[in-house]
Structure 1
């Protein structure tokens, strides 16, 4: 791995192109900035390369968004290879100190069955964990009349299998960073009672021996009466809303545990349930067919019936409690700029005056941008100010500029949406009189369901930018202007 050409300027790496653009506006010609995620790449899924590692090794500062926006391996590459003492700045986490407005990530997903995911609760700091650590949740056995498969469907439809009893649970492990959760699908080949044994451990670093945390058994009633499970009379039945198989990392006064953390009404009010006193219902309305696509053959033959608790949200999207897409509110991007300014002054104090001048000029430009976005979106009648899109990345845009996120969630992205699901979207569009749906350019070609329904309803399909630039939009200012203009044109 060769040393990149050194022209004497500070070397800065960022995880995304948006952060790189902010850093270039502050650093100007005095700083060399490189984004690790390439143009058009998805920070949620990008895997680092050897070139990325080289750039990290020789960096004088690194800026990530974090709050679990980026793929965990990218964060791990930064933390493991950045030289000791070099600033390693998680901008979203620092932004609150600079008056950024933080909003929780709320998932109000309406499903016909319970949504069951995986979660790690707590940071694990008292166990020595950092943001580079990982919790390993292992399936160690299952009792039941058929096979059990737990998997997720990634953004472009590729399945990733976590647990599959068909191969005897050969090293079947789900990996999550601390304080995170992920969406899942759970499939069962035969009706009956299933008991899934799980064990959790914490790997503080790649080189350290994992720490055993807890183990438990999760009970599913698949197509049978959940109130008549042998040996579990009076058990609590989880049959609606959200729930997560949760690894609780504990505190100094409480040990780690494996629990079921449930939000039965979808309103954010969570309650803990002991697995040995709880049954998860998989009702007969969860019956579906194995898709014809060969990549889902691990579920059985195409057309065979299975019971499935579907994945609530499309994509491999591990996230935490705070929405990480802060930059969709321009005032939050201004907080990022101030953090970058102060960091560059720390590593290169000789050019402090230039960094202050550059950031002051750019902050003035962002103030004008904020006013433009607000005024442009403000021209849309309130009755038409609804955003329907496939990617849950616009909560800050909605909160800052009074746009209602009507949303669109495919309950089971492994298969074509059912007639009921398509009808639900059609009714949402009709009832709200939504004149357009919005797709990110780098995802539009793959978002066939929303595209087809929009065409059937004779409404527009318009662009919106979330995490990445493209050939048309190459800067943060252009991104926010393009979004405001697109919303006004298509909704106004």
Structure 2
């Protein structure tokens, strides 16, 4: 009996030791796993699980700037979809909820996108920054912009990015605001901006080369887009006439005849409408067709499936002007 009791006691002791060893091994493996996880999180690389700053912009163009500067630290969407006239846009179901989830918002300001601004102001949570990029001329000029304080229309021109210098200033301004909001991303934002500006500069040189190949006597521009005053000044193209609808105004038969007369008297080769439907774009296209000149397209405040970014916009517009204004040689 004593022998059997001793054997049983030995088995119990052995089993207890084995159980303790298994528990210790499991705890050791768990600790090792936690250490490896902590090392991965602190390595500075993008693991895909890092929290991204939720950002909403009014225009697809601004979303492009934010995406280029913010990289994988941001989750950005545009309130106004691609291919839509910013002045005619109206909110859709779900827009208010999307705005309410944003941590920072970017708009142009200066009454350029009134419906989108209203949605932002009414639905952003208290304390969430609403950055109006063109709302402070001094701040934008410090970021590198050149602003015309007296324009053809006599009013402040809200669309400033049609010169590459000003487009880069918009992106630089966005970089500064992202850094204020997310100081930990400062180095990454600066690195992204540097790489982006190199690509923009390369595209700008391409545009200058294309437009230098257009005979000077052909550099006459008739468009519906008042922002092309910046574009024309930057690339030495004369903004001969505009067909634009201002607040509280409507197009008339006199506007139509004025454009046709200008086409004839100035020997204009082409008219340039924006890529979306609007009364002024339709009138300009009709005037061009009836006058027997080319009807072409220039992008400024909208993107689409063909022109998906600011860099695409610069390149497309340069190619279109070269094609429609009689560019010569390789360009």
TM-score (norm 1): 0.51
Q: Which structure shows the higher helix fraction? A: 2
**Cα displacement (A) at 1:375:** 2.8
Asked if the contact 2:85–2:277 (Cα under 8 Å) also holds between the matched residues in 1, the reply is no
User: Which consecutive unaligned segments of at least 5 residues does structure 1 have?
Assistant: 1-5, 109-267, 269-320
User: Which consecutive unaligned segments of at least 5 residues does structure 2 have?
Assistant: 1-48, 327-331
Asked if the contact 1:60–1:347 (Cα under 8 Å) also holds between the matched residues in 2, the reply is no
Q: Which structure shows the higher strand fraction? A: 1
Counterparts of 1:106 and 1:339 in 2: how far apart (Å)?
A: 23
2:122 aligns with 80
Work out which of the residue numbers 29, 45, 52 in structure 2 matches 1:9. 52
User: Once the two structures are superposed, what CA deviation does each residue of 1:377-423 show, in whole Å capped at 9, x if it has no partner?
Assistant: 222222111111123231110121111111243798565x25xx655
When residues 356 and 48 of structure 1 are mapped into structure 2, their CA distance, relative to the original with a 3 A threshold, is: same
RMSD (CA atoms): 2.4
Q: Secondary structure at the match of 2:170?
A: helix
Residue 335 (str. 1) matches residue 174 (str. 2): no
User: Once the two structures are superposed, what CA deviation does each residue of 1:103-146 show, in whole Å capped at 9, x if it has no partner?
Assistant: 136355xxxxxxxxxxxxxxxxxxxxxxxxxxxxxxxxxxxxxx
2:45 aligns with none
Counterparts of 1:405 and 1:463 in 2: how far apart (Å)?
A: 15
Q: Radius of gyration: which is bigger?
A: 2
Residue 366 (str. 1) matches residue 200 (str. 2): yes
Asked if the contact 1:463–1:486 (Cα under 8 Å) also holds between the matched residues in 2, the reply is yes
| 4+ long deviations beyond 4 Å | 410-415
1:387 aligns with 221
Asked if the contact 2:218–2:325 (Cα under 8 Å) also holds between the matched residues in 1, the reply is yes
**Cα displacement (A) at 1:444:** 7.4
1:96 aligns with 141
Counterparts of 1:86 and 1:444 in 2: how far apart (Å)?
A: 34
Asked if the contact 2:243–2:259 (Cα under 8 Å) also holds between the matched residues in 1, the reply is no
Output aligned runs, 1:168-179, within 5 Å: none
User: Once the two structures are superposed, what CA deviation does each residue of 1:339-367 show, in whole Å capped at 9, x if it has no partner?
Assistant: 22122222222332222111110011112
Asked if the contact 1:102–1:322 (Cα under 8 Å) also holds between the matched residues in 2, the reply is no
TM-score (norm 2): 0.75
Asked if the contact 2:222–2:271 (Cα under 8 Å) also holds between the matched residues in 1, the reply is yes
1:440 aligns with 274
When residues 370 and 34 of structure 1 are mapped into structure 2, their CA distance, relative to the original with a 3 A threshold, is: same
1:304 aligns with none
Work out which of the residue numbers 283, 307, 316 in structure 2 matches 1:473. 307
| Count of aligned residue pairs for this structure pair | 272
**Cα displacement (A) at 1:334:** 0.8
